[in-house]
Structure 1
Amino acid sequence: MIAVLGNGRVGGNLARALTAAGHEVTVADRSPGAAAAAAGKARVVINATPGEGSLERLTALREQLRGKVLLDVSNATTDGPDGLPADLLHPGSSLAERLQDALPDTHVVKSLNTMLYPVMTAPASLAQPPTAFLSGRDDRAKQVVRELLTDLGWRAEWITDLGGIETARATEAAVLFVPHVIRAGGFAPFAVSIAR
């Protein structure tokens, strides 16, 4: 079972797509105990909660997340006056690193955080192939996430393993492109892509 923590646009989009791909998915809303119940039953937990509160929320689930794969798709930022990301909450580090430090018995993998949410589940919809990056310490956990990405329509050549969890600070910094790209071209789906 896959548990999605967060039932906003990102979490809802991922839950629908993974369900359509044949996975058993449960979505935890904000009701008391929902996240703990969902995480406790799951094999994979997806963090789609707002990044500024993710560390506190997930640290409270330490026991339920023990031994699980935690796919972190959130970016921890402060918002500007227009509600778009303005700066990083963890400069010199990353949300993913903070989560891994706080949850040493959980296998944190960072991915899908360098794109607008529609691209997460429809990568082939863009004019050029996007890139999904993987950051994490555990190769088996990254393989689990790679298989989920494949189920979401990501081709093998569109997925790049950057290495350890510390590489997430690079992909999380890419969120600083987002407000400028949106202001320049409107709210149209886009992703960071490595062209070779």
Structure 2
Amino acid sequence: MTAIAVLGNGRVGGNLATALTRAGHEVTVADRTPGAAADAARTARIVINATPGAGSLDRLAALREELRDKILVDVSNATVDGPDGLPADLIYPGSSLAEQLQEALPETHVVKTLNTMLFPVMTAPATLPQPPTAFLSGEDPQAKQTVRELLTDLGWHKEWITDLGGIQTARATEAAILFVPHVIRSSGFAPFAISIAR
């Protein structure tokens, strides 16, 4: 059992919190009330960023002390939304939210994952007719191994998880969010994920 704090109580955060609790972890969900995120992060070993990506950097940079030596699992994408509310562009072109977080939180082990799929797939990957891929980006091998184990608790087979390398590789997976509005307009709001076929 691992103490996990989920920052964000929307569809993504709620879905992850429910699944991780079901897997036997001790999960705290922090809403937007003052001090809730700091309290949750302080007592956790792993913190999951499921806050809206556009405001994640400011929110998490304010938690520098609470996040010291912790693993920060970043599942958010920082985008500018179009008129229909769907992602239209990246907030950090030439970089990524994960890189910005790692720079702002140098004593935190940032690992990017689960950001290349609609949220239901994060906790039920086997429901898709073909295997999806979960990518890992981060500087610390031990932190990535811990996150890999967390993913297996969520139903991810080890062969479905691909370690891309350092935190800079998050640029590629975050850019994949630009597929999302087009896929939704084409096929509707049905669960899907990026998958590497080998």
Q: TM-score, normalised by structure 1?
A: 1.00
Deviation at 1:54, TM superposition (A): 0.2
Deviations 1:141-163 (A, max 9, x none): 00110000000000000000000
- Give the match for residue 86 of structure 1: 88
Deviation at 1:4, TM superposition (A): 0.1
- Give the match for residue 71 of structure 2: 69
**DSSP-derived class of the 2:180 partner:** helix
Deviations 1:140-194 (A, max 9, x none): 0001100000000000000000000000000000000000000000000000000
**DSSP-derived class of the 2:84 partner:** coil
1:173-184 alignment runs, 5 A limit: 173-184=175-186
Q: Distance in 1 between matches of 2:173 and 2:50?
A: 16
Q: Distance in 2 between matches of 1:118 and 1:83?
A: 19
- Give the match for residue 47 of structure 2: 45
- Give the match for residue 18 of structure 1: 20
- Give the match for residue 109 of structure 1: 111
The reply on whether 1:191 has 2:193 as its aligned counterpart is yes
Deviation at 1:125, TM superposition (A): 0.3
Q: Distance in 2 between matches of 1:3 and 1:158?
A: 25
**DSSP-derived class of the 1:142 partner:** helix
Deviations 1:61-107 (A, max 9, x none): 00000000000000000000110000000000000000000000000
Unaligned runs of 5+ in 1: none
Q: Distance in 2 between matches of 1:147 and 1:70?
A: 14
- Give the match for residue 147 of structure 1: 149
Q: Which residue type is aligned with residue 80 of structure 1? A: G
Unaligned runs of 5+ in 2: none
Aligned sequence identity (%): 82
Q: Number of aligned residue pairs: give it.
A: 196
Q: Distance in 1 between matches of 2:87 and 2:147?
A: 26
The reply on whether 1:29 has 2:31 as its aligned counterpart is yes
Q: TM-score, normalised by structure 2?
A: 0.99
- Give the match for residue 100 of structure 1: 102
